[in-house]
Amino acid sequence: MPSTTAAAEKLLLQMVDDYTAREIAPQDMPMDAAGDFPAGFVQQLTTTGFLGLMLPQEFGGAGFGPEVTATALNHIARGNASTAVTLEGHFKTIDQILKFGTPALQQQLLPSANDRIFAFSMTEASGGSNPMGISSTATREGDHWVITGDKIMITNGGLAQVYCVLVKTAPQELSVFVVDQDMPGFSFGKREDFIGLRGTPVGEIVMDHIIVDDDHLLGKLGDGGMIGDSAHDDARILMGAVLTGIMEHELKIATDYAKERKAGDKPLTKLQVTHRKVADIAMRKETTKLLYQRAAQLKAAGRPYSEEAAMAKAHGSRAAVSAGDDTLQILAGYGYSREYPVEHLIRDARAMEIAEGTVEKMRSAIANAEFNK
């Protein structure tokens, strides 16, 4: 008999596959065309309990571990990457509250993470990959903090109700506070019109003198940079999983088409040019899968995983774009058509060469990790 954990994980993935096939995949193309989740889509995800998938059971969640959580997003992304990325943004934020929040803050906030989407916001017009360039501040006034600033390009921005925000608490000191959309002074700004992952809202929040107590500080004053890095690490594992799902989708499109289509009298499956492309797509998919699973295993074991997470995202994002390009070439004119999903899978994958740290930044992180060994 399998262990309880293995049996539960098998049942979870069975449910994820069933839900993805019935409820998520049919929305993939309409979502890309509409540039948003369909009405009721997020509510249905919530009702089905996806938001609490990795939230510990003491907070009302399911408490699944890092490996199967990543695998679940991998499977969801086979049907639609935007849905998986929205969950990724939610899960990485929960992870930081679990790692750095006080027990009181966790008790206050986390039970609502089963019903409300959480988001982590770092980027500003004045700073993306350079956190010290941000201008949002939290200023001490009496026994509380006053937060002011403008955060942009937030995954789930506008959809999420709870935000971890990176601010300056001193000219050279970064800290993270948690704010809620219901707080006075909180408002939403514009939503980005991105070319990929078009279901996932990416938007702006404006904080105009939001007042919070000390208990809304994550970690200690000055921990902001470290917490931001941690959020990136957790997100990058999940993005590796999402990218694997995109490539599995691309591979299926490529092989299904090649099995049916002939060039002259020869089936595409008999052409060496097809073999090379399909083999490359399969190898890119499999290497990315191994990388994100390796990073998730290290995380589950309590060991460092920053470098492996960066590898999963840096390798996987370019791999998925290239795999999409090869898939498009196999389908030729059909691949270039909006009637087929290939072109939007390329746009979806392309987002992840930028989000959660650019691939250039990933390579610097990986190289520096190697120099330090």
Partner 1 sequence: MKIVVCIKQVPETNDVTIDPVTHNLDRRGLAGVMNPFDKNAVEQALQLKDADKDAEVVLLSMGPDDYAESLREGMAMGADAGVLLSDRAFAGADTLATGYVIAQAIKQIGNVDLVLFGRQAVDADTGQVGPIVAEFLHQPQITYAASLRLSGTNEVTAERLLEDTKQTLVATLPAVVSVRSELNTPRYPTPRNIQLSFAKPLTVWHHDDLDLDDSRLGQAGSPTIVTKVYAPEPVKRELTPLTGTPTEAANQLITALKNRQLI
- Is 353 known to be catalytic? no
Restricting to residues 2-21, name those near partner 1 by CB under 8 A. 4, 7-8, 10-12, 14-15, 18-19
C-alpha span between 89 and 171 (Å, rounded): 28
Nearer CB in complex with partner 1: 15/282: 15
CB distance 158 to 214 below 8 Å: no
- The residue from 260, 356, 360, 370 that is catalytic is 356
C-alpha span between 136 and 168 (Å, rounded): 6
When asked if residue 60 is in the footprint of partner 1 (CB under 8 A), the reply is yes
Structure tokens at 355: 């989000």
Minimum CB separation of residue 49 from partner 1 in Å reads 3
- Exactly one of 21, 30, 43, 48 binds partner 1 (CB under 8 A); which one? 48
C-alpha span between 62 and 52 (Å, rounded): 6
**Going by DSSP bridges, is the β-strand pair 144-155/202-212 parallel, antiparallel, or unpaired?**
antiparallel
Q: Which residue has the tokens 């074991």?
A: 301
Minimum CB separation of residue 5 from partner 1 in Å reads 9
Minimum CB separation of residue 238 from partner 1 in Å reads 16
- Exactly one of 27, 41, 61, 247 binds partner 1 (CB under 8 A); which one? 61
Nearer CB in complex with partner 1: 50/163: 50
CB distance 148 to 180 below 8 Å: no
How many residues at the interface with partner 1, by CB under 8 A?
Answer: 22
Residues with Cβ within 8 Å of residue 117, at least 6 apart in sequence: 42, 51, 86, 89, 90, 156, 159, 160, 161, 162
Minimum CB separation of residue 94 from partner 1 in Å reads 14
- Exactly one of 25, 36, 63, 229 binds partner 1 (CB under 8 A); which one? 63
- Say whether 191 sits in a helix, a strand or coil: strand
- Exactly one of 27, 28, 31, 64 binds partner 1 (CB under 8 A); which one? 64
C-alpha span between 123 and 4 (Å, rounded): 41
Restricting to residues 17-46, name those near partner 1 by CB under 8 A. 18-19
Structure tokens at 320: 């998925």
CB distance 272 to 346 below 8 Å: no
Centroid of chain to Cα 285: 17
Minimum CB separation of residue 7 from partner 1 in Å reads 7
Nearer CB in complex with partner 1: 9/356: 9
Name the residues that contact partner 1, by CB under 8 A. 1, 4, 7-8, 10-12, 14-15, 18-19, 48-50, 52-53, 57, 60-64
Residues labelled as active-site residues: 356
